[in-house]
């Protein structure tokens, strides 16, 4: 049986091995989505990320699953001006990529208890390896501001759902050495 430390090193190794391909895939996907949004006259801000090691380890432990079962390891966020544009972007994703019927979540019509609103769709872009999904989150700027600092903020979500205090930011404290 692997120790926790060797398990973490295995996850880090897999993330490192995939990193270049993952970033290239996300970059290609972003360019493709920007083109499709432009064709449909939708003004949007698109960002992407690869889930960090700590989040991967925590999620694998919490869900008791394997590395390849984490569906949001790769993520893309599309922020638009109007709610109707959220649904237009969702349809562009559905028309452009493979996705499963269970892979769409509408938190706009049915917000989470903390007020979180967004559309989520898991897509399989052509650039992904090993059937790796990309979770696309689609929301308006108002929804995004609420996610960043309102009742639906990620820190408040973690605190309410898991009883976990928000991560302390070493760079923002008066005495960063107190972490050591």
pLDDT of residue 159: 57
Extract the tokens encoding 67.
């590395």
Domain that holds residue 68: 4-161
Alpha-carbon distance 115 to 4, whole Å?
35
Alpha-carbon distance 70 to 13, whole Å?
16
- In-domain check, residue 171: no
- In-domain check, residue 176: no
pLDDT of residue 68: 78
CB distance 103 to 121 below 8 Å: yes
- In-domain check, residue 55: yes
- In-domain check, residue 177: no
- In-domain check, residue 173: no
The CATH number of the domain holding residue 106 is: 3.30.460.10
- In-domain check, residue 168: no
- In-domain check, residue 96: yes
List, in order, residues 6 or more apart from 68 with CB less than 8 Å away: 130, 132
Is 0.75 topped by the overall pTM?
A: yes
- In-domain check, residue 172: no
Q: Can you tell me which residue has the tokens 């599309």?
A: 78
For the chain, the domain total comes to: 1
Alpha-carbon distance 72 to 52, whole Å?
11
Q: What is the mean pLDDT of each run of 10 residues along the chain (180 residues)?
A: 66 81 93 97 96 84 83 93 98 92 93 93 81 91 89 60 50 46
pLDDT of residue 80: 98
């Amino acid at each position: 049986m692997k120790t926790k430390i060797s398990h973490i090193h295995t996850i880090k190794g897999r993330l490192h091995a995939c990193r270049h391909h993952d970033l290239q895939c996300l970059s290609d996907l972003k360019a493709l989505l920007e083109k499709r949004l432009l064709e449909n006259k939708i003004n949007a801000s698109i960002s992407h990320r690869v889930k960090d090691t700590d989040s991967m380890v925590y999620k694998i432990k919490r869900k008791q699953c394997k590395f390849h079962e984490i569906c949001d390891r790769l993520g893309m966020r599309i922020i638009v001006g109007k709610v109707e544009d959220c649904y237009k972007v969702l349809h562009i994703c559905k028309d452009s990529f493979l996705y499963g019927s269970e892979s769409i979540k509408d938190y706009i019509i049915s917000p989470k208890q903390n007020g979180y609103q967004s559309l989520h769709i898991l897509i399989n872009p052509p650039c992904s390896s090993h059937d790796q999904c990309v979770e696309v989150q689609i929301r308006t700027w108002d929804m995004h501001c609420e996610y960043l600092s309102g009742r639906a903020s990620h820190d408040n979500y973690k605190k309410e759902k898991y009883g976990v205090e928000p991560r302390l930011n070493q760079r923002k404290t008066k005495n960063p050495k107190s972490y050591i």
